[in-house]
Copies of this chain bind each other. A is one copy, B any other.
């Protein structure tokens, strides 16, 4: 199935019968570089390495491309020329995620001793309030191109809602697999979009094993698992975070980025996105540093970074940051490489500091972050205290989800500051004037 890399076989602009995925030219192995035609595959047939999208990028001048982007919709589809999607993608029903706020965080910066520019990229503004809407929206386009009629995933949280919402909006069937004993709140968020929601009698690992079995079975024909057989497409959605940050900074690279690590895919695709902008001449090429952030209770990449290893030893997660709790992160080695190459680092914080950081961000900037946002803000604080993050530069910290989804994390330490009787005497006695 491996193909030559000459343009005749990989171009999708030639009116061939291949899927129309815009500038996406082929799938390329991240390990051995072998190329394959675009399709619902995710592992190299030569070396079993992970596949990613290779592009025929537009050849026009940077200024024209920039103007095209700026006149596009207020969503990730403004970057359609750089994504594996058809050019008319914004005409199709989609949740239209992205172009979320880049918030200048002066009050947080003051508390952290930042003298340069500190920004929060706040992805809680996405349609289902996490960055997952970005990656799922790209997966939907791939699913449409490959003729899939069911959108599927295994999930314990954010992904379930993103898949359910995106499939509903696109008019696709969805089937989401969850552990049968998930908390009721998360079940409601996944079930409300009306797709199939299947509880599996077993652990999350059992759910994943079952999904892999289903993909290999005739029963799974026509099913697009967003983060399995559609993963190369899905993963590209994270590049849009890099595009947006640079555009919102006035087409400028940040000096430093603090990015959460679950599988590590988001971090490595952000790096890919920044490199693309440089190569296309959309931003000036200058050094940037990428810092990865983990919860101490699930910090295999941080540990490998600190120990100087190139491989990541799996761990059993135990942290309140459930959306980052992947003990065996697939992109771990790529993250280590990027952090070292750019002069960044990978660091972790414990659950107590995660909660403190959630409250710090809420108190200073009015942004209520998911636990993953507590991880990045907490790690930022730690890196500044350690002198590894330069507080005089332009720094962007990612918040990838909404605090409404992880209320439990702060519930036990958050409450009324006073309880009084409904009269002025009681008000004064409480020292509230």
Shortest beta-carbon distance, A65 to chain B, in Å?
21
Contacts of A106 in B (CB 8 A): 93
User: Contact: A192 with B403, CB < 8 Å?
Assistant: yes
Contacts of A161 in B (CB 8 A): 368
Q: Which of B206, B368, B416 is the one whose CB lies under 8 Å from A199?
A: B416
Shortest beta-carbon distance, A78 to chain B, in Å?
12
User: Contact: A192 with B359, CB < 8 Å?
Assistant: yes
User: Contact: A217 with B424, CB < 8 Å?
Assistant: yes
User: Contact: A362 with B193, CB < 8 Å?
Assistant: yes
Task: Tell me which of A35-43, A53-61, A165-173 binds B.
Answer: A165-173
Task: Tell me which of A9-17, A182-190, A386-394 binds B.
Answer: A182-190
User: Contact: B366 with A164, CB < 8 Å?
Assistant: yes
Q: A364-B168, A367-B165 are in contact. Are A428 and B219 (CB under 8 A)?
A: yes
Shortest beta-carbon distance, A13 to chain B, in Å?
29
User: Contact: B125 with A198, CB < 8 Å?
Assistant: no
User: Contact: A417 with B201, CB < 8 Å?
Assistant: no
User: Contact: A366 with B127, CB < 8 Å?
Assistant: yes
Shortest beta-carbon distance, A154 to chain B, in Å?
11
Q: Which of A192, A219, A358, A424 has most chain B Cβ within 10 Å?
A: A192
Q: A197-B415, A432-B198 are in contact. Are A189 and B407 (CB under 8 A)?
A: yes
Contacts of A341 in B (CB 8 A): none
In the complex, whether A247 has a CB less than 8 A from a CB of chain B is no
**Within the assembled complex, what's the spacing in Å between the Cα atoms of A198 and B407?**
20
**Within the assembled complex, what's the spacing in Å between the Cα atoms of A184 and B192?**
23
Contacts of A430 in B (CB 8 A): 198
Q: Which of B403, B407, B420 is the one whose CB lies under 8 Å from A200?
A: B420
Contacts of A363 in B (CB 8 A): 168, 193-194
User: Contact: B107 with A368, CB < 8 Å?
Assistant: no
**Within the assembled complex, what's the spacing in Å between the Cα atoms of A366 and B365?**
29
In the complex, whether A347 has a CB less than 8 A from a CB of chain B is no
Contacts of A194 in B (CB 8 A): 359, 362-363
Stoichiometry, copies per complex: 2
Q: Which of B185, B189, B414, B428 is the one whose CB lies under 8 Å from A188?
A: B414
Contacts of A125 in B (CB 8 A): 125, 127
Q: Which of B104, B180, B189, B432 is the one whose CB lies under 8 Å from A368?
A: B189
**Within the assembled complex, what's the spacing in Å between the Cα atoms of A125 and B98?**
11
Shortest beta-carbon distance, A158 to chain B, in Å?
12
Q: Which of B214, B219, B416 is the one whose CB lies under 8 Å from A187?
A: B416
In the complex, whether A340 has a CB less than 8 A from a CB of chain B is no
**Within the assembled complex, what's the spacing in Å between the Cα atoms of A300 and B389?**
58
- Closest partner residue, chain B, to A207 (CB atom): B422
Q: Which of B207, B411, B424 is the one whose CB lies under 8 Å from A213?
A: B424
User: Contact: A414 with B191, CB < 8 Å?
Assistant: yes
Shortest beta-carbon distance, A120 to chain B, in Å?
11
User: Contact: B107 with A199, CB < 8 Å?
Assistant: no
Q: Can you list 9 A-B contacts (CB < 8 A)? A: A101-B127, A128-B368, A161-B368, A187-B415, A193-B366, A194-B362, A196-B432, A198-B420, A219-B424
